[in-house]
Structure 1
């Protein structure tokens, strides 16, 4: 148990060294690689291709999704952020719903570190 905790502390220290370009791995004793406020799985994953703040629209892997102004965006370093913290090219996990007209509306986003993306 003590060895496991020491390894985790060392892993976190190495992963958060300057110059890592914000890409790092968080781990707990069970080997989970996400903060406690992240779900164990996402409804959908993809890469943000376009952000159109004027129309409250994101293009994710070629599909159009809309969002509300109060959309919650989570990252490994920030539990509660806004859509303005997103950048094109970021990998995200997200939840969405469809309205009666088939319009896809994102309800929540979690930023996924590039090293953890496996498609999907």
Structure 2
């Protein structure tokens, strides 16, 4: 019984503060992302349907791979960059963080609008 009491005391002394620190770090990350999101250009929406990191992009075939998922890009997709309201698919590069919306045309879903995002807004690695 004495060992159990020592273990509980040890857990209370070391584990609980550690868990609190981890929780605070997560809250700080969320707060940091909110600060970054609030500093986006006025032509950016308040939220993005999806946020991903580009692995590869093929502008000739209107195809994008992000976070190991494959997406088709609509021919008339709008591209918005941090420094200019309108850009082109060729402005997008592997490693960029993007937010985007998807629309369904017929039986196929396409990305129809893309926003370049700051690196701080990258989703957590899975």
Normalising by structure 2, we get a TM-score of 0.63
Hey, what's the Cα distance between the residues in 1 that align with 2:121 and 2:48? 13
Normalising by structure 1, we get a TM-score of 0.66
1:110 to 101, 115, 119: 115
Decide whether the 8 Å contact of 1:70 with 1:82 is kept in 2.
no
Return the offset for 1:56: 1.0
Question: How does 1:1-120 map onto structure 2 within 5 Å?
Answer: 32-101=38-107, 103-119=108-124
Q: Specify the alignment match of 1:11 in structure 2.
A: none
Structure 1 portions without partners, runs of 5+ = 1-26
Hey, what's the Cα distance between the residues in 2 that align with 1:87 and 1:60? 11
Q: 3-state SS of the aligned residue for 2:120?
A: helix
Return the offset for 1:92: 0.3
Hey, what's the Cα distance between the residues in 2 that align with 1:98 and 1:119? 27
Moved over 3 A (4+): none
Q: 3-state SS of the aligned residue for 1:115?
A: helix
Decide whether the 8 Å contact of 2:100 with 2:111 is kept in 1.
yes
Q: 1:118 to 1:60 in 2, by over 3 A?
A: closer
Structure 2 portions without partners, runs of 5+ = 1-34
Q: Larger radius of gyration, structure 1 or 2?
A: 2
Q: 1:111 to 1:57 in 2, by over 3 A?
A: same
Return the offset for 1:54: 2.6
Hey, what's the Cα distance between the residues in 1 that align with 2:122 and 2:39? 12
Decide whether the 8 Å contact of 2:51 with 2:123 is kept in 1.
no
Q: How many residues align?
A: 90
RMSD: 2.1
